[in-house]
Structure 1
């Protein structure tokens, strides 16, 4: 954790692997980690391109002339994880 971090700012880096539909990708995100009750809460938000995981239905990159049936390729994900010690 960054000792100079202020409340509401991103103060940690999180790395990992995400698997969707059997496809794995490395993920590196900036997040906010804060003390909460008797534990910690980690929050972050990011966008995933669903076509990188094989979900191409309604994608303008793969199909032409979809008009109003076009489906956005980006999916927004918000993570709120609470960590509490075992007692």
Structure 2
């Protein structure tokens, strides 16, 4: 009986002591350290964004330039970020004739496609970066998810990419497939114009990116 009585009395005395001394400090809770993300500024002169679109009988590929952005870094990991693309810089690198290039840009800048005058930029905001288990060196090592906004329309997308941080430089590279019709770019789409025949343009286009950001 004494084995149980003594601990009980000790507990009661301890409780009474705390109640009698309201100023007594309670044991400190263990602190969980959360390291704040550091902003690495995107370097437009070192970063690239390529695109490719295909149609039934032809296709084009080219570039468009990043305007600004950042990658959020926690330790050795990219955890977030936002990039902005300047849509007026879009061009087809497979077109060498200046007049044809001008016509191409005019069509891309018009309402059939990006309506650049009203929507001068497109953006992508990273919402999560999830490591790919077992990824080999040099291969895609993360799944990047986020919100892509084109022509004022925002959709959630995700894609594999190679990301990393080293010596004050954060980098992300990969290829993204985008369904243009989800952003209101319906021109030449068989999904909306069944009788268009061999003038159809594929709904999907691809973006190949290499983003470099520095601390």
TM range (shorter): 0.7 to 0.9
Partner of 1:69 in structure 2? 199
Partner of 2:177 in structure 1? 47
Structure 2 stretches of 5 or more lacking a match? 1-76, 78-130
| Pairwise CA distance, 1:7 | 2.3
Bigger relative CO (Cα 8 Å, ≥ 6 apart): 1
Partner of 2:212 in structure 1? 82
* RMSD, aligned CA: 2.2
Aligned residues: 85
Structure 1 stretches of 5 or more lacking a match? none
| Pairwise CA distance, 1:29 | 2.1
Larger Rg: 2
| Pairwise CA distance, 1:35 | 4.8
TM-score (norm 2): 0.36
Q: Displaced runs of 4+ in structure 1, greater than 3 A? A: 1-5, 34-38
Aligned partner of residue 65 in structure 1, secondary structure: helix
1:19 to 149, 153, 172: 149
TM-score (norm 1): 0.80
